[in-house]
Amino acid sequence: MKKIEYTAIVHEYDSIEELTGDDKYLVQKAKEASEAAYAPYSRFHVGAALMLENGICVIGNNQENVAYPSGLCAERVAVFAASAQYPGIAFKAIAITAKSDDFIVNNPVSPCGSCRQVLAEYERLFCKPIRIILGCETGKILIIDKVDDLLPFSFKADSLKK
């Protein structure tokens, strides 16, 4: 047996005030997007802001449905909207934040497995890393340099070939 260890570098900031430029802008846009989330069941509002290589920011927010599997996460709403509206334009970074109607979200929120897989697909498509900025209502911000650090064993197209 061989043991293989994977590591990821995560940059931690004490607050949004420590961020500069696009990072701060994306977190603010993600927070704004969370305000418009449709979350009547979980009461947990997630916002995402995706920065494209051309400087355009595309937002998304979670969209719930009484038939739970029919909803969609904020990250995928932003990614799919960007891909539909700006095909072929690479993604630079995505910021994700959340707020709740029932409590203060003090810890950065991270994408679910499905969203990680979708982000990994676009990272491979454009052959460029996508920075992930994880925020919350108050407190620290985490930045991960690339999707592979969040999902090192993602499903790849190579697996579909003989």
DSSP β-bridge partners for residue 61: 47
Please answer whether residues 154 and 115 qualify as being in contact, where contact means their C-beta atoms are separated by less than 8 angstroms. Answer: no
Between CA 27 and CA 133 the distance in angstroms is: 7
Residues with active-site annotation: 75
Q: List, as one string, the DSSP characters of 94-119.
A: EEEEEEESSS---S-----HHHHHHH
Rounded to the nearest 10 degrees, the angle between the axes of helix 113-126 and helix 74-85 is 30
Six token digits for residue 49: 């802001």
- Can you tell me whether residue 61 is helix, strand or coil? strand
- Residue at token pair 């701060």: 24
DSSP one-letter code for 120: H
Please answer whether residues 64 and 47 qualify as being in contact, where contact means their C-beta atoms are separated by less than 8 angstroms. Answer: no
